[in-house]
Structure 1
Amino acid sequence: MTTIHTIERKPRAASDGPPPLLIMLHGYGSNEQDLFDLGEYFDPRMHIVSPRGVLDLGFGFAWYHLGGAPGNLIPDPATRARARDILAALVSDLPGRLGTDPQRTYLLGFSQGAVMSLALAAHIPGQLAGIIPISGYLDPDSLDGPLPAAIAELPILQIHGTEDAVVPIAAARRTRDTLAPLARRHTYQEYPVGHTISMDGIQLIQGWLAERLAT
């Protein structure tokens, strides 16, 4: 497996059995620290891991290269596919390495990290307990074929800002409409914000994770 730099926060409270795992995927030009402190808001039983993007841009890190401009960004298919495979291997590896529950692995991704979380949901839905894509979208060109049947039972909490100038709200709504007939456990929420994670969104995630972990 390709080596990928990660930081982690061990559970702050005990679980009945192996703890759940939350993997946080940052956006383009950022790094593993960007989302990490959000872990303070979530269930203290979670083991949190934040990996660094595999591409060093000089001013930050990314999962794949982008062309175009904000509002019309064009992904590079080769580096995106490589990142998906690297992250899929990480998802498979971490529960055994960390001692977390392999049936309770969650992804939270922002922007490019959200794109990766949706790509992973389509690629390895059976290895995930749920995903939280924020300010991202499902790119049909990232799929190997039709969405797998297993995505029907995968909990998905999709969040987007209506004022997002980087990833326009239209992209999020297309993703919503693509998932709606297939993903029976898909929740979609818009907020009147830009390309960011709002406190309302954080509170929604808190409740959504709490509901998942209670079952």
Structure 2
Amino acid sequence: MTDIVVQQPAGTPQQLFMLHHGVGATPEGLVPFGRRLAQEFPEALVVSLQGPQASDLGQGYQWFSVVGITEENRPERVAAAMPAFVKAVQDWQARVGVSPEATALVGFSQGAIMALESTQQDVFLAGRVLALSGRFAQLPKAPHAHTTLHFVHGKADKVMHYGYTVTAAEHLVSLGSDVTADVIPFVGHEVNQDVVDTAVERLLGHLPKRHWEAVHQAAEQDDTAED
């Protein structure tokens, strides 16, 4: 199995959505969510990627091994996996002719860890990162100024506690980053309809902070010119 293209627009894609599954899963698992994204963003290319390694869990794939993983060694494993992750994103961007600004990285669980941690690289990869039941490997620095981060997490998640989302969001807000965070009651470690609906609502309805700032700056310049 390889990457799955969920939607290929007839013309040149205006956006690129890249979906990244969790450990022990396959690209097929996020195809239903990809189909919803395709409905909402008909001019986007939507692709569900396959993790580069066979999973140590005996089925599916992974971005990095979780055997013997700890809070201390997780950042090292993520860092080791990051060059291949970055290359995959850039290869798809080059293949379809979509800029980082028009790219959204979507990740579930381990895929969300990779997507979030990619915002800590020197290279600018995506205008939006959507983390479903995810976390940072460690509390981050401010991401690129043109990156908006969306967190969606089930409050009943027993695999990855929702507190990671709350802590990261509060930390990022204190750094002046553009962040939304939704914690959904009675939802576990899953991508169910409530998660999908919330994620789509954020992608469609949230005006990035940089756009607000641009409008505000333009208004101030107009006021100055009138004076």
Q: What TM-score do you get using the length of structure 1 for normalisation?
A: 0.82
- Corresponding residue for 2:103? 105
String of CA shifts for 1:41-71, please: whole Å, max 9, x gaps: 12122101211112212311111111469xx
- Corresponding residue for 2:188? 194
| Identity score, percent | 26
Correspondence list, 1:1-215, <5 A: 5-12=2-9, 18-42=13-37, 43-57=41-55, 58-67=58-67, 76-123=74-121, 126-140=124-138, 147-148=141-142, 150-192=143-185, 193-211=187-205
Distance (whole Å) between structure 2 residues aligned to residue 213 and residue 12 of structure 1:
24
Query: Does the 8 A contact of 2:9 with 2:42 survive in 1?
Result: yes
Judging changes above 3 Å, is the alpha-carbon distance between structure 1 residues 5 and 106 closer, same or farther for their aligned structure 2 residues? same
Unmatched tracts of structure 2, length 5 or more: 212-227
Larger Rg: 2
Unmatched tracts of structure 1, length 5 or more: none
**RMSD over aligned Cα, in angstroms?**
2.8
String of CA shifts for 1:78-107, please: whole Å, max 9, x gaps: 542232111111112212212334430101
Letter of the 2:4 partner, please give it: I
Judging changes above 3 Å, is the alpha-carbon distance between structure 1 residues 213 and 169 closer, same or farther for their aligned structure 2 residues? closer
Letter of the 2:194 partner, please give it: D
String of CA shifts for 1:10-29, please: whole Å, max 9, x gaps: 33465xx6420000000011
Query: Does the 8 A contact of 1:28 with 1:61 survive in 2?
Result: yes
Instruction: Select the structure that is richer in helix.
Output: 2
